[in-house]
Amino acid sequence: PKTLRLILGDQLNSTHSWFESPNENVIYLMAEMRQETDYVKHHIQKVMAFFTAMRCFADHLKNEGRHVRYFKLDDPENPQKLDQIITNLIQKEGIEKFEYQLPDEYRLDQQLKDICKLISIDSEPFDTEHFLTERSFLAQYFEGKKTYLMESFYRDIRKKFEILMDGKEPEGGKWNYDHDNRSALTDKRLLRKHLEFKHDLSNIYQMIQDQKIETFGNVDPKNFPWPISRTESLDLLDHFCENLLIHFGDYQDALTTWDPFLFHSRLSFALNTKMISPMEVVRKVQSHWHEMRDEISISQVEGFIRQIIGWREYMRGIYWAKMPEFSKMNFFGHDRKLPSWFWTGKTKMKCISQSINQSLDLAYAHHIQRLMVIGNFALLAGIDPDEVDAWYLGIYIDAIEWVEITNTRGMSQFADGGIVGTKPYVSSANYIKKQGNYCTHCAYSSNQKTGDKACPFNSLYWHFYDRNREFLEKNPRIGMAYKTLDRMKNKAQILKQADEYLERIEEL
Ligand code: FAD
């Protein structure tokens, strides 16, 4: 039958079995749509990266001789909505069957289910052939349990796919090297040059402006740094293996003004658009390590692989196990508005201005900036998780709801009440100071809890525990904090300081 196959913007998987053989009767549909640019306000680089990578993928399919119907955003025939695009095309081309790959977002999953009901022809969903596990795997795996421990899931995945295994035992004798992976970076000479792609994307930039799409953040359209094809994604992976893996674990949690990327791979966009697969990333890293065993320690490799087959895969499982309820969860009932400086970076807190300005410039922040600087502040200050989510979903190049919301609402804001993590990720200034140089030359003092110069993280930290006592005191991993708080002589003063800071949060 004459078939229409839909490829969404994050389904750029050229190794999918759909493309194994030529198929004359198939039309591949790809579309840039207002429904995707407008569901949240995105960073300009994110919109540019998605559209460019999609165009590149469409060109690749056309070069293979496939029929592709690609709607650019400014195409006068583009109805800008998925349901209309599909129904129009079915009619116009006399399509007899509709096929699609399972979307990773709940929103699109619902929309596609509705579309399939709407059209009168046969339809069939396909796996994306990207993840190691199926959507429903995690829900089944933890069935009947209250908590979903990442660690047990991760170990089973390693065994099942024989990743970093020595027979039945973990390679190196340990499952987890996290304790080796916590250093601050003190030697600038260790830093490496990053691979940036420098694409001239002036045309797509102009189109986005002409179409009046509301975006934010900065970009140099003539020097666009992100990978936009599979080849470039593989180059970035090679670059990571050859230059960065050697210190990935060591400085995974480091915070420094010297380098926004440190030893992080910057592979998240390539992975989330499926230009490369988690399995090939893991296999490549593993084989590189086998060749370089004398130089690269297992803690670097395990730390990296854990992120990909542990955290990433696990977050996806949580998403499908807990949506749509997850998107409404607000365990602490936080309702403060996001300070306006989240959109400008204009705050005197150096750690935050550094992390936010970097995010505005690069559409990127590494994990500890997202979790222990920006997210930490939002949680301590009691910001409404809806606002926090919208910000994270917009700003990062890799932000797609399945992995954004589970990290933000779950891991970072504890709005899920402890599905993803067993306790909230909060800290005072001490942690941030320990991880690098963010506290140097800050207008606030990391040592002070009270007074004009006191770092807001310090009093807000205790304010957070104090106001959420009923939710947290019984948690065995937290009880100690309350003993410390209740013994503090200047407790009232610290809490008063936090109240004052919260009152003038816009001026911090
Ligand atoms: P590396 O440090 O090089 O790690 C390698 C890969 O591991 C990443 O590319 C990513 O695919 C995976 N990974 C690492 N940590 C996680 C994690 N916690 N969850 C899922 N995958 C992980 N990641 C996204 O891809 N999209 C998001 O929208 C997103 N939002 C986040 C929001 C918050 C509040 C936090 C705390 C984390 C978020 N993350 C998100 C996870 C993580 O911060 C990014 O994946 C990572 O910073 C991307 O940079 P990288 O490719 O250089 O990562």
Q: Are 37 and 47 in contact (CB under 8 A)?
A: yes
Asked if the structure places residue 209 within a domain, the reply is: no
Other CB atoms within 10 Å distance of the CB of residue 149: 12
Asked if the structure places residue 132 within a domain, the reply is: no
Q: Is the CB of 392 under 6 A from ligand 1?
A: yes
Asked if the structure places residue 170 within a domain, the reply is: yes
Degrees, nearest 5: CA angle 280-406-81:
85
- Domain boundary, last residue among 126, 155, 177: 126
Ligand 1, atom 20: closest residue by C-alpha: 312
User: Which residue's structure tokens are 């198939």?
Assistant: 26
Ligand 1, atom 34: closest residue by C-alpha: 408
Q: Are 48 and 15 in a shared domain? A: yes
Q: Are 26 and 171 in a shared domain? A: no
Q: Are 477 and 359 in a shared domain? A: yes
Q: Are 283 and 372 in a shared domain? A: no
Residue 217 CA, ligand 1 centroid: distance in Å: 19
Q: Report the CATH number that the domain containing residue 93 is assigned in CATH.
A: 3.40.50.620
The H or E element containing residue 53 is: helix 44-63
Residue 268 CA, ligand 1 centroid: distance in Å: 6
Q: Is the CB of 274 under 6 A from ligand 1?
A: no
| Burial zone of 173 (CB within 10 Å; 0-12 exposed, 13-18 middle, 19+ buried) | exposed
Asked if the structure places residue 216 within a domain, the reply is: no
Asked if the structure places residue 131 within a domain, the reply is: no
Q: Is the CB of 371 under 6 A from ligand 1?
A: yes
The pLDDT score that the predictor gives to residue 143 is 84
Partners of 87 in beta bridges: none
Helix, strand, or coil (residue 26): strand
Domain that holds residue 358: 340-507
Q: What is the DSSP string of 259-318?
A: -SSTT----HHHHHTTSS-HHHHHHHHHHHHHHTTTTS-HHHHHHHHIIIIIIIHHHHHH
Q: Are 66 and 8 in a shared domain? A: yes
Q: Is the CB of 245 under 6 A from ligand 1?
A: no
Q: Are 298 and 404 in a shared domain? A: no
**What b/e string do you get for 333-363 counting C-beta neighbours within 10 Å, with b at 16 or more?**
ebeeebbebbbebebebbbbbbbbbbbbbbb
pLDDT digits (tens, 9 = 90+) for 184-208: 999 999 999 999 999 999 999 999 9
The pLDDT score that the predictor gives to residue 157 is 95
Q: Is the CB of 363 under 6 A from ligand 1?
A: no
pLDDT digits (tens, 9 = 90+) for 261-288: 999 999 999 999 999 999 999 999 999 9
Q: Is the CB of 315 under 6 A from ligand 1?
A: yes
- Domain boundary, last residue among 105, 126, 147: 126
- Read off the tokens for 365: 């922040």
The pLDDT score that the predictor gives to residue 495 is 97
Q: What is the DSSP string of 221-235?
A: TTSB-S--SHHHHHH
Q: Are 18 and 53 in a shared domain? A: yes
pTM, entire model:
0.97
% of the chain at pLDDT higher than 90: 93
Ligand 1 atom index nearest CA of 263: 3
Ligand 1 atom index nearest CA of 272: 25
Residue 227 CA, ligand 1 centroid: distance in Å: 16
Ligand 1 atom index nearest CA of 261: 52
Picking from 47, 45, 358, 394, the residue whose alpha carbon sits closest to that of residue 224 is 45
Picking from 400, 51, 397, the residue whose alpha carbon sits closest to that of residue 201 is 51
Ligand 1 atom index nearest CA of 396: 28
Largest distance between two CA atoms of the chain: 78
Residue 311 CA, ligand 1 centroid: distance in Å: 8
Q: Is the CB of 396 under 6 A from ligand 1?
A: yes
Q: Are 307 and 393 in a shared domain? A: no
Residue 146 CA, ligand 1 centroid: distance in Å: 25
Q: Amino acid letter at 448?
A: Q
Asked if the structure places residue 219 within a domain, the reply is: no
Residue 60 CA, ligand 1 centroid: distance in Å: 28
Q: Is the CB of 48 under 6 A from ligand 1?
A: no
The pLDDT score that the predictor gives to residue 146 is 73
pLDDT digits (tens, 9 = 90+) for 89-130: 999 999 999 999 999 999 999 999 999 999 999 999 999 999
The pLDDT score that the predictor gives to residue 115 is 97
Q: Are 262 and 295 in a shared domain? A: yes
Low-confidence ranges of the chain (pLDDT < 70): 181
Q: Is the CB of 264 under 6 A from ligand 1?
A: yes
Residue 193 CA, ligand 1 centroid: distance in Å: 21
- Total count of domains within the chain: 3
Q: Are 306 and 355 in a shared domain? A: no
Phi, psi of 125 (to 5 degrees): -90, 150
Assess: ipTM above 0.90: yes
Residue 403 CA, ligand 1 centroid: distance in Å: 8
Q: Are 261 and 293 in a shared domain? A: yes
Residue 382 CA, ligand 1 centroid: distance in Å: 23
Picking from 475, 386, 481, 367, the residue whose alpha carbon sits closest to that of residue 147 is 475
Partners of 165 in beta bridges: 170
